[in-house]
Chains A and B, each alone.
Chain A
């Protein structure tokens, strides 16, 4: 079974069907998905700004991370769930959308960046005198990636492949 036939199968599942048949579920879920970005990207941005020394400078990095990461993860779960739900309703349309593909790749890169950061340089956070260059880089990369993810996500509605 290739990816496209998986998408076509997904669209015929009861969950996807109920979403397409309802007049409001899609719009409601889309609203939650759009506003949920505030939880994910907003909290990620706070940590990134702290790593870059542009905000919350008096708070130790570990404090900022400790306070924001649980919200980031909660927000990400919300986004992943609503995102998967939205995807199921128009899977084969999104299969053809370049913006959607770009968004998925960027999401994977952002995840990889965060994973690498937490598994390596962040481990010695208590020993940091100044913020290491690698941590600053991780913050900068994360800021750029999440900005692009938002842009790509918004572009799905305007790009080719969507309204065809």
Chain B
């Protein structure tokens, strides 16, 4: 329902000058993906240490609040990098994302994770004195499961996005000599099947 309501937005995004520009250049496509991946490393890498400290396997000499306070700017920084590069990638492959169930799973997961991160997770991370161990463990597990789940769903868009595309894109497609999809840089499903 929400998906259908957003269809015009995706069509507009796909036709936008920005989307067309990124899509037309393999370098720009790769660059947006690389920046997105670097943001992921910053976000989950730092969150991993905070959550492991919450679970009692990270930094033991310092409280969760101290570790969280030090790393929070980097976690938020990583999130911002992802939230900027994400829509750029989306504009370059809006139809693929629109058609991919993994994309919608990722968006729902992302909304839940962001709310969770800035409410329940933040409360526990900043609690001084620390909250009971079982509660910290629970929150840390949920946090890690959410973010890793989102990352896996994101990877799945790239892997299965092509296969889920049911209709030809409404925009002009430049077919390269290699048969690689100009949307994704990957081989079309039929060609891939012969490669692997």
Residues of A participating in the B interface, judged by any CB pair closer than 8 Å: 20-21, 26-27, 30-31, 34-35, 37-39, 41-43, 45-46, 49, 55-59, 63-64, 67-68, 71, 89, 147, 150-151, 154-155, 157-159, 163-164
Q: How far is the CA of A21 from the CA of B194 in the complex (A)?
A: 10
Q: Report, nearest first, the 10 A-B pairs whose CB atoms are least far apart.
A: A42-B45, A158-B30, A38-B44, A163-B180, A31-B155, A27-B159, A151-B34, A158-B185, A154-B34, A41-B41
Total A-B pairs in contact (CB under 8 Å)? 102
Known: A39-B48, A41-B45, A42-B44. 18 other contacts (CB 8 A): A26-B196, A31-B156, A35-B148, A37-B37, A37-B40, A38-B44, A38-B48, A42-B41, A46-B49, A46-B71, A55-B74, A58-B62, A58-B66, A59-B59, A63-B59, A89-B196, A158-B185, A163-B178
Knowing A38-B40, A158-B26, say if A57 contacts B70 (CB, 8 Å): yes
Asked if B155 and A38 make an inter-chain contact with CB atoms under 8 angstroms apart, the answer reads no
Chain A interface helix/strand/loop/mixed = helix
Chain B interface helix/strand/loop/mixed = helix
Contacts of A68 in B (CB 8 A): 49
Residues of B participating in the A interface, judged by any CB pair closer than 8 Å: 26, 29-30, 33-34, 37-38, 40-42, 44-46, 48-49, 58-59, 61-62, 66-67, 70-71, 73-74, 148, 151-152, 155-156, 159-160, 178-180, 185-187, 196
